[in-house]
Amino acid sequence: MKISVFGLGYVGSVSAACLAAAGHQVVGVDVNPLKTSLVNAGKAPVVEERIGELTAQVVASGSLWATDDVTAAVTGTDVSLVCVGTPSAPNGSLSTTYLERVSEQIGEALAEHTGKHTVVFRSTMLPGTCLDLLVPLLEKTSGGTAGVDFGVAVNPEFLREGSSVRDFFEPPKTVIGELDTGSGDVVAALYEGLPGQVFRVPIPVAEMTKYADNAFHGLKIGFANELGSVCRALGLDSHRVMDVFLADRKLNISPAYLRPGFAFGGSCLPKDLRGLVHAARRADVSVPILAHVLPSNEEHLRRAFDLVAHTGKRRVGLFGLSFKPGTDDLRESPLVELAERLLGKGYDLRIYDSNVSMSRLLGANREYIDSRLPHLGQLLAGSPREVAEHAEVLLVGSTDPTVLAALPHGGPTVLIDLVRVPDAEQRRGEEGYVGLAW
């Protein structure tokens, strides 16, 4: 395939050289004459493992060359990969200046292109940037229609500086945000034969995946560093602690807990986070990430309450009360906290949880609920249907099959989903359905 790569920084230089090495004909495009001259001389414009040798090899073979002529690059290729920078603006927002400029230039070149061409954005950009900003620019300057006269896709990169060539050829995944199937097919063909799962998704989903990755990477580093600082202050070897932590592939290094849902609770997580933060403060160690986990959890719970308040309705049904399915433990359950807030604001509340019975609540569990919901016995219903018939607003905090069977479809009842019920995707189009975090 004939490919033009716009922007010869780290991502563009590596993408261009690797695609050329994979057998494609590639032209690199950059406004900086030093970068284009370096590439044409067989030298990489960036310092990166293996990129120097690879660039020399593909330039010598005639598979890669560089220019500053946008029109020639676009009209002479089938695909344009946009790899320009998206730096932070002074206020922290994303600067799309380079993206806009290149999109306009590519659009103008497309007006002179007689064949089908696909524009693929590799640059990191927030959801909505492509469809709301860049596609209109391409259509305005080209005079064509995206998805008809030219293709558009978003293909975020997951290349680490220092190992980007290796990462290109051994990707953990390939993400293709496609405007239409044809555009996605073109991008998929670029990476044919490479390992890793391929995800073909809507464009905004593809845009967001890079932010999800990088935010989590930053969070992991910050978590490890804060925990290390606490360990040091307590006289412990943090690496020995983390060796044990990392050995757990069932919960710690796994998909566990990484699905958006309701707030966490129970007798362990809140208590232990408070204890760890308190120990850090006593040792005079600042741990802003750890210190804000519980406030973040509290904000998530508040969102659920606000969704009820915004309906303006007063009769509320709550499915689920224990802190997680399969237990009757109510201690620090976010559903108990939500019920307490609703009662405190005068809502007419009914609750159903098949695992919770006043006669079976004992010890600390009974003491906790007596202090938070002293009249729980009067609020508990005998069946999901009883709750559904009572409520104008249903809060779903349980995936109990009897609860799911009682949930209405459409109609006047507002259904606020706290757990993402199995048919959430179908319900999203229904009147009255609201997902907490999806």
Binding site as annotated, residues: 30, 35, 86, 124, 158-161, 210, 257-261, 265, 271, 324, 331
Q: Are 281 and 233 in contact (CB under 8 A)?
A: no
CA angle 338, 342, 345 (to 5 degrees): 140
Catalytic residue among 18, 83, 231, 268: 268
The neighbouring-strand residues paired with 203 are none
Question: What's the CA gap between 223 and 228, in Å, rounded?
Answer: 8
Strand 173-178 relative to strand 151-154, pairing: antiparallel
Residue 345 DSSP code: T
Amino acid symbol at 346: G
Catalytic-residue membership of 268: yes
Question: Which residues are annotated as part of the binding site for NAD(+)?
Answer: 30, 35, 86, 124, 161, 271, 331
Say how far residue 276 (Cα) sits from the centre of its chain: 28
Question: What's the CA gap between 76 and 388, in Å, rounded?
Answer: 63
Q: Which residues contact 105 (CB under 8 A, 6 or more apart)?
A: 70
Phi and psi, residue 4, nearest 5°: -110, 135
Question: What's the CA gap between 202 and 211, in Å, rounded?
Answer: 15
Copy the structure tokens of residue 381: 């219903």
Q: Are 365 and 373 in contact (CB under 8 A)?
A: no
Question: Which residues are annotated as part of the binding site for substrate?
Answer: 158-161, 210, 257-261, 265, 324
In 3D space, the residue among 265, 273, 272 whose CA is nearest the CA of residue 290 turns out to be: 273
Rg (CA), the chain: 27
The residues carrying an active-site annotation are 268
